[in-house]
């Protein structure tokens, strides 16, 4: 339209002629600025989702000090799980948090039992986030296993406990005490062709057994309880840190066995203090009294022996416990066929409608947030 008017002799004010030019330059400027912002946001988001050679894809869970994410290796066709220290802890991340986190990965990486979670890598991001990469397991922890499916048959309980003993025996042999044995830290999974394969997780509270490294005790001598009250040994419940040794893990594993057989904890209490007091001073009852399943007297006796108040009266080691369980397994069996049928019927499937990936924001989400 403009060139037609000019050919006919019309003249236009300079301001009118300048408007299209200014508008064009303004649009170009905005486009360049928007591109740089989007590029920068995209780069920041990519970095936020990347840990070393792995890219975060989905948050799987979070605990007292860490988060676990599903992640994909950017070069290898391998999916893994990444645990990292949460950045929203009350009071921020302290040197004690970092020391505990580093201790966990170093302790776990040094163990070779097939029933201990396998660690692939460890690192520190540019923003100071500690993380480690471990194998991603196909299954569920024993806490959810019982909550979703009820108490387990004795033969399956024996099968699970023996595998935990394998992991603990190695840890105890090198002077480590796990200190947080509980159903949520024991994972049962499909592992290659194996079913009901057990992995022991979370060595975050690991310490050297008494008499091996007194310096390790300092991390928890702050007057607070560290661990899980429902599965705490009497010496942990009473704050006798120096008395914690391998038999403390045996006690906690007895509590796990009780949970698997009955679907309830050894003691029930309304507060943490009450729970700790019961573990410290109250005599437990046999698990057979809390389940409709038939539980052999040998299993009752063995679990109660694990739950003795004095460490010297308990089953002395994971190796001895495994040997005792092996004898019981001759009459309390759990066959591969039984395991196969269970996994065919109950294999946990991820429900996309109940859990959406909790990811760092996408570029579009960041832009929308900034605009608001």
For every residue of 229-266, DSSP letters joined together read GGG--HHHHTT-GGG--HHHHHHHHHHHHHHHHHSS-S
270 lies in the same domain as 342: yes
**Residue 118 maps to a domain:** yes
**Residue 43 maps to a domain:** no
Torsion of CA 210, 214, 215, 217, to 10 degrees: 50
**Residue 298 maps to a domain:** yes
**Residue 146 maps to a domain:** yes
Q: Which domain holds residue 159?
A: 138-346
DSSP 198: E
Residue 86 CA to residue 81 CA, distance in Å, equals: 15
103 lies in the same domain as 244: no
Q: Is the pLDDT of residue 31 over 50?
A: no
- Tell me the average pLDDT across 44-52: 60
Catalytic pick from 141, 180, 216, 322?
Answer: 180
Residue 40 CA to residue 306 CA, distance in Å, equals: 58
Torsion of CA 160, 162, 163, 165, to 10 degrees: 130
CATH code of the domain in which 270 resides: 1.10.510.10
**Residue 294 maps to a domain:** yes
Cα–Cα distance list, 256 to 141, 201, 307, 334 (Å): 12, 14, 11, 18
Q: Which of 84, 63, 62 is nearest to 132 (CA)?
A: 84
221 lies in the same domain as 319: yes
Take residue 159 and report the two structure tokens written for it: 């099968």
Q: Which of 253, 229, 224 is nearest to 241 (CA)?
A: 224
128 lies in the same domain as 195: no
CB 186 within 8 A of CB 198: yes
203 lies in the same domain as 236: yes
Task: Name the packing angle between helices 246-262 and 154-173 (round to 10°).
Answer: 160
126 lies in the same domain as 150: no
- Total domains, the chain: 2
153 lies in the same domain as 131: no
288 lies in the same domain as 217: yes
Q: Domain end: 136, 154, 189, which one?
A: 136
207 lies in the same domain as 73: no
Q: Which of 193, 188, 219 is nearest to 205 (CA)?
A: 219
Q: With cut-offs at 50, 70 and 90, classify the pLDDT of residue 146.
A: very high
Q: Domain end: 88, 105, 136, which one?
A: 136
* Residue 102 three-state SS: helix
315 lies in the same domain as 210: yes
Burial class (CB in 10 A: 0-12, 13-18, 19+), 344: exposed
Take residue 192 and report the two structure tokens written for it: 């290659």
142 lies in the same domain as 125: no
Q: Give me the pLDDT at residue 103, please.
A: 75
Query: Per residue in 92-110, pLDDT tens?
Result: 667 776 777 777 778 788 8
Q: Domain end: 90, 112, 136, which one?
A: 136
Cα–Cα distance list, 3 to 7, 21, 70, 335 (Å): 6, 15, 62, 89
DSSP 99: H
Residue 118 CA to residue 201 CA, distance in Å, equals: 9
Residue 24 CA to residue 27 CA, distance in Å, equals: 5
**Residue 17 maps to a domain:** no
DSSP 132: E
- Tell me the average pLDDT across 27-52: 48
- Tell me the average pLDDT across 30-44: 40
Q: With cut-offs at 50, 70 and 90, classify the pLDDT of residue 352.
A: very low
- Tell me the average pLDDT across 28-47: 42
CATH code of the domain in which 86 resides: 3.30.200.20
Take residue 69 and report the two structure tokens written for it: 């994410």
Beta strands in the chain (DSSP E): 50-51, 54-62, 66-73, 79-85, 119-124, 130-135, 138-141, 176-177, 186-191, 194-200, 207-208
Residue 182 CA to residue 235 CA, distance in Å, equals: 16
Q: With cut-offs at 50, 70 and 90, classify the pLDDT of residue 366.
A: very low
Is residue 180 among the annotated active site residues? yes
Residue 157 CA to residue 136 CA, distance in Å, equals: 23
**Residue 341 maps to a domain:** yes
**More confident position, 349 or 234:** 234
**Residue 23 maps to a domain:** no
158 lies in the same domain as 307: yes
Cα–Cα distance list, 57 to 86, 325, 340, 362 (Å): 17, 40, 30, 12
Buried residues in 274-302 as b, exposed as e (16+ CB within 10 A): ebbbbbbeeebebbbeebeeebeeebbeb
**More confident position, 254 or 99:** 254
CB 57 within 8 A of CB 359: yes
Q: With cut-offs at 50, 70 and 90, classify the pLDDT of residue 48.
A: low
Query: Per residue in 152-183, pLDDT tens?
Result: 999 999 999 999 999 999 999 999 999 999 99
Take residue 134 and report the two structure tokens written for it: 């471990």
Q: Is the pLDDT of residue 253 over 50?
A: yes
């Amino acid at each position: 339209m403009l060139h037609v008017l000019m050919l006919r002799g019309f003249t236009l004010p300079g301001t009118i002629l300048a408007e299209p030019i200014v508008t064009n330059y303004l649009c170009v400027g905005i486009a360049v600025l928007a591109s740089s912002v989007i590029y920068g946001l995209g780069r920041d988001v990519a970095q936020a989702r990347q840990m070393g050679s792995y890219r975060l894809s989905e948050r799987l869970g979070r605990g007292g000090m860490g988060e676990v994410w599903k992640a994909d290796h950017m070069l290898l066709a391998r999916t893994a799980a990444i645990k990292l220290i949460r950045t929203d802890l009350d009071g921020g991340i302290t040197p004690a948090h970092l020391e505990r986190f580093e201790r966990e990965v170093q302790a776990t990486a040094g163990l070779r039992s097939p029933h201990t979670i396998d660690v692939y890598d460890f690192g520190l991001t540019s923003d100071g986030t500690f993380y480690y990469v471990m194998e991603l397991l196909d299954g569920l922890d024993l806490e959810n296993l019982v909550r979703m499916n009820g108490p387990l048959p004795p033969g399956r309980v024996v099968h699970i406990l023996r595998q935990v003993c394998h992991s603990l025996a190695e840890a105890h042999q090198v002077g480590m005490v796990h200190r947080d044995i509980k159903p949520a830290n024991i994972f049962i999974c499909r592992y290659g062709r194996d079913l009901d394969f057990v992995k022991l997780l979370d060595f975050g509270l690991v310490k050297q057994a008494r008499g091996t490294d007194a310096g390790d005790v300092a991390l928890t001598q702050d007057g607070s309880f560290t661990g899980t009250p429902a599965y705490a040994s009497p010496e942990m419940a009473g704050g006798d840190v120096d008395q914690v040794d391998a038999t403390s893990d045996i006690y906690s594993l007895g509590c796990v066995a009780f949970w698997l057989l009955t679907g309830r904890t050894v003691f029930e209490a309304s507060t943490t203090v009450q729970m700790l007091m019961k573990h410290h001073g109250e005599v437990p009852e046999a698990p057979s009294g809390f389940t409709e399943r038939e539980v052999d007297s040998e299993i009752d006796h063995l679990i109660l022996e694990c739950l003795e108040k004095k460490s010297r009266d308990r089953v002395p080691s994971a190796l001895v416990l495994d040997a005792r369980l092996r004898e019981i397994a001759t009459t309390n069996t759990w066959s591969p066929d039984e395991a196969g049928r269970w996994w065919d019927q109950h294999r946990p499937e991820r429900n996309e409608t109940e859990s959406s990936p909790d990811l760092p924001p996408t570029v579009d989400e960041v832009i929308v947030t900034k605009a608001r």
